[in-house]
Amino acid sequence: MFSEQAAPTAQGLLAPPSGEPPTFPRVPVSGYSDCSQPFQLGERSFSRQYAHIYAVRLAGMRPGLERRARSRWGKDIALRKLSELQAGEKCCVVGTLFKDMQLQPSILQEISEEHNLVPQPPLPKYIQPSDELILEDELQRIKLEGAIDVQRLVTGTILAVYGSEQEDGRFLVEDHCFADLPPPLPWDGPSSDRFVLLASGLGLGSVSGEALLSTQLLVDVVTGQLGAEGEQSCAAHITRVILAGNLLSQNTQSRDTINKAKYLTKKTQAASVEAVKMLDEILLQLCTSVPVDVMPGEFDPTNYTLPQQPLHRCMLPLASAYATLRLVTNPYQANLDGVRFLGTSGQNISDIFKYSSMDDYLEILEWTLLAGHISPTAPDTLGCYPFYKSDPFILTECPHVYFCGNAPHFQSKLLQGKEGQRVLLVTVPDFSATQTACLINLRDLTCQPITFSGFGADSED
Amino acid sequence: MGQPRRITDSFPRRLRRRGPGRPPGKLKDKKDKKDKDKVQVKVEDCPRSASQPAPDPALLEMLRHFDLSWEYGPCTGITRLQRWERAQELGLSPPGPIRDALLEHRDNP
């Protein structure tokens, strides 16, 4: 797509430079509005407990789930609370899932065994065949068994189960359903080709500098300094660049200096200082030419709990002088040219990956959309701010593009919903490992990867 | 049984003074009131409420009822007014008189 447009134009790189080099004005920015206000924290009071966020989540998603349950299993099914259950009666219950996992790292277990217990090493997946699912509503909880995939589901999901209570106190599930896709947003996309570049995991500050060449190539393509006039005119159609997290590499997170003696570490500075300076220079090159949205990620210097607040502009002195730089939250939601983007830097998806049998990042991404919640594991295994008024991670409207950063590979899928929703699901790969970024065409919601390899064929396909 | 001499007769128990910005109606205060009933100890009221008339016990009962009703979610860690507003937004229709009472006595638990 991108390179097909480039090919037919006349001049290749092997022709002598023309006398009057043509200039390609970038497609003007139109229709940007930032919709991520719910993710920006005003006051930060951590004196609250997390029970509030679960209560609000259940109360907020209950009406939608009740509607879905009625439409699926009949209008006159009995919707009961757990306290009203009678043995043997077929009914539907709406509640929060809790998955009881043996291998789940628990701080209480670590400190209870008289300090002799070695803390459990981090595993890639914490699932086990002996895990159990428990459904909780406002007052009670009950164990679930039956036609429900214990390994696949994670704690914190709100769902509706249909079945009956057994004599031994467990609930036998015959069918279950999630909130399904939220109501669609009207489509107001552009009529001509407009591209948005999504990249994540730039990984600056890592020990090896291999990815630096690819990063520089990326910047050069976007700013139009690479390729013949064909590629340059295509690059002029890129209206925005979104960097979805992990701008710094994991190596900058090493905390060895804390364990060493003070006299040894006096003159060393944190690795992230140098990395942020590099980031500033790269962003400066990008910002002179294209609007950039920078989302923080797992290893970036901002808060750990979700929603991560934007990086502070004092860290990027050169680039923040430009108005084209926008430092945004993680998760991030915005309207670009009438197309609603929603995405995260990947912490929610990788957390679900650890506690579920689902292996494919795209499958997990699709599942979170169908479950109606960006990050169901949020207070349980992923750090989260203790909201009390409303849960901003509940999906109330269906975005047009739903992405997650720092995935192992690039994958994309166009999902069609029953009420006319069209969502493009994109898993943006880690740039420092795969040197691949994604180009999304806003006109027809298609997506293609663009790879910048240092050696071998310089392919843009 | 006669009134045994306790150390709290000479050193009466005082409610710990909190900062001026404390929001009204926190659950902690309710617990203190319960302790007051159980233990026969002289307690000095917060100097704040000394200047206002004593709150109506029926009103306090109503507020306590509101705190303990499970439909509106957990009551710890947020003020009664915040909890009322949240219940209103979620469409659970909390009773109106509670809000009026809370707004009337904004600085009083």
Tens digits of pLDDT across chain A (461 residues): 455 554 444 455 666 666 666 677 777 666 788 887 888 887 788 888 888 889 889 988 988 898 888 888 888 788 888 888 888 888 898 999 998 888 777 777 666 665 566 667 777 888 888 888 999 888 888 998 888 888 889 999 999 999 888 888 888 898 888 988 888 888 877 888 888 999 998 888 777 777 788 888 889 888 888 877 777 878 888 888 999 988 888 777 766 666 677 777 666 677 778 888 888 999 999 998 888 999 998 888 888 888 888 988 888 899 888 988 989 988 899 888 888 899 999 899 999 998 888 889 999 999 999 998 999 998 888 888 888 888 889 988 889 999 999 999 899 999 888 888 889 999 999 998 888 999 998 888 888 898 887 664 444 44
* A170 and A65 housed in the same domain: yes
The answer to whether the Cβ–Cβ distance between B90 and A138 falls below 8 Å is: no
Domain locations along chain B: 75-108
- What is the distance in angstroms between the Cα of A41 and the nearest Cα belonging to chain B? 17
Structure tokens at A28: 């003007």
Q: 3-class DSSP state for residue A151?
A: coil
CATH of the domain at A296: 3.60.21.50
The answer to whether the Cβ–Cβ distance between A388 and B89 falls below 8 Å is: no
pLDDT digits (tens, 9 = 90+) for A59-87: 889 888 988 888 888 887 888 888 888 88
Domain count, chain A: 2
* A33 and A136 housed in the same domain: no
pLDDT digits (tens, 9 = 90+) for A151-190: 889 999 999 999 888 888 888 898 888 988 888 888 877 8
Structure tokens at B88: 């209103």
Q: Is A37 exposed, middle or buried (0-12, 13-18, 19+ CB in 10 A)?
A: exposed
* A83 and A199 housed in the same domain: no
- Residues in chain A within 8 Å Cβ distance of B75: none
- What is the distance in angstroms between the Cα of B11 and the nearest Cα belonging to chain A? 32
β-bridge partners, A177: A160
Of A47, A52, A389, the CB nearest to B74: A52
Among A330, A343, A335, CA closest to A303: A330
Of B71, B78, B92, the CB nearest to A388: B78
User: Under a CB-based contact definition with an 8 Å cutoff, are residues A252 and A270 in contact?
Assistant: yes
pLDDT confidence of residue A386: 87
The answer to whether the Cβ–Cβ distance between A59 and B90 falls below 8 Å is: yes
**E-strand spans in A193-348?**
195-199, 238-244, 292-295, 325-327, 332-336, 339-344
**Chain position carrying tokens 């923080």:** A296
pLDDT confidence of residue A403: 92
A380 belongs to a structural domain: no
Residue B25 clears pLDDT 80, i.e. is over it: no
- What is the distance in angstroms between the Cα of A60 and the nearest Cα belonging to chain B? 7
Structure tokens at A119: 């803390």
The answer to whether the Cβ–Cβ distance between B86 and A51 falls below 8 Å is: no
* A328 and A369 housed in the same domain: yes
Among A63, A72, A132, A73, CA closest to A94: A63
- What is the distance in angstroms between the Cα of B94 and the nearest Cα belonging to chain A? 14
* A106 and A188 housed in the same domain: no
Structure tokens at A197: 């570049």
pLDDT confidence of residue A410: 92
**Which of A155, A177, A199 corresponds to the end of one domain?**
A177
CATH of the domain at A59: 2.40.50.430
Torsion of the alpha carbons at A61, A67, A73 and A78, rounded to the nearest 10: 80
pLDDT confidence of residue B17: 54
* A150 and A127 housed in the same domain: yes
> Over chain A, what is the mean pLDDT?
83
Other Cβ atoms within 10 Å of A349 Cβ, number: 24
pLDDT confidence of residue A113: 61
A329 belongs to a structural domain: yes
The answer to whether the Cβ–Cβ distance between B78 and A390 falls below 8 Å is: no
Domain interval for residue A74: 50-110+123-177
| Farthest-apart Cα atoms in chain B, separation | 55
* pTM for the predicted model, two decimal places: 0.79
A14 belongs to a structural domain: no
Of A49, A59, A60, the CB nearest to B77: A49
Query: Which amino acid belongs to residue B18?
Result: R
* A392 and A413 housed in the same domain: yes
Which site among A43, A389, A390, A396 would you substitute to test the B interface, given the most B Cβ atoms closer than 10 Å to its Cβ?
A: A389
A302 belongs to a structural domain: yes
A21 belongs to a structural domain: no
The answer to whether the Cβ–Cβ distance between B70 and A59 falls below 8 Å is: no
User: Under a CB-based contact definition with an 8 Å cutoff, are residues A430 and A246 in contact?
Assistant: yes
- Residues in chain A within 8 Å Cβ distance of B90: 56, 59-60
- Please count the residue pairs, one from chain A and one from chain B, whose beta carbons lie less than 8 angstroms apart: 38
The answer to whether the Cβ–Cβ distance between A49 and B85 falls below 8 Å is: no
* A65 and A86 housed in the same domain: yes
Structure tokens at B27: 């659950």
**E-strand spans in A257-336?**
292-295, 325-327, 332-336
The answer to whether the Cβ–Cβ distance between B90 and A56 falls below 8 Å is: yes
| A45, closest residue in chain B (CA to CA) | B77
Which site among A62, A84, A388 would you substitute to test the B interface, given the most B Cβ atoms closer than 10 Å to its Cβ?
A: A388
Which site among B79, B86, B88 would you substitute to test the A interface, given the most A Cβ atoms closer than 10 Å to its Cβ?
A: B86
Rounded to an integer, what distance in angstroms lies between the CA atom of residue A208 and that of residue B58?
71
pLDDT digits (tens, 9 = 90+) for A92-105: 989 999 988 887 77
Of B73, B77, B85, the CB nearest to A59: B73
**Which of A177, A194, A220 corresponds to the end of one domain?**
A177
| B72, closest residue in chain A (CA to CA) | A55
Residues whose CB falls within 8 Å of the CB of residue B80, separated by 6 or more in sequence, listed in order: B24, B25, B63, B66, B67, B98, B102
pLDDT confidence of residue A242: 92
Of A47, A55, A63, the CB nearest to B73: A55
* A238 and A198 housed in the same domain: yes
User: Under a CB-based contact definition with an 8 Å cutoff, are residues A388 and B77 in contact?
Assistant: yes
pLDDT digits (tens, 9 = 90+) for A369-383: 999 899 999 888 888
Among A345, A327, A330, A341, CA closest to A440: A341
pLDDT digits (tens, 9 = 90+) for A380-409: 888 888 888 888 899 888 899 999 999 998
* A365 and A411 housed in the same domain: yes
Look at strands A332-336 and A339-344 and give their pairing.
Answer: antiparallel
pLDDT > 70 in chain A, percent: 87
* A130 and A226 housed in the same domain: no
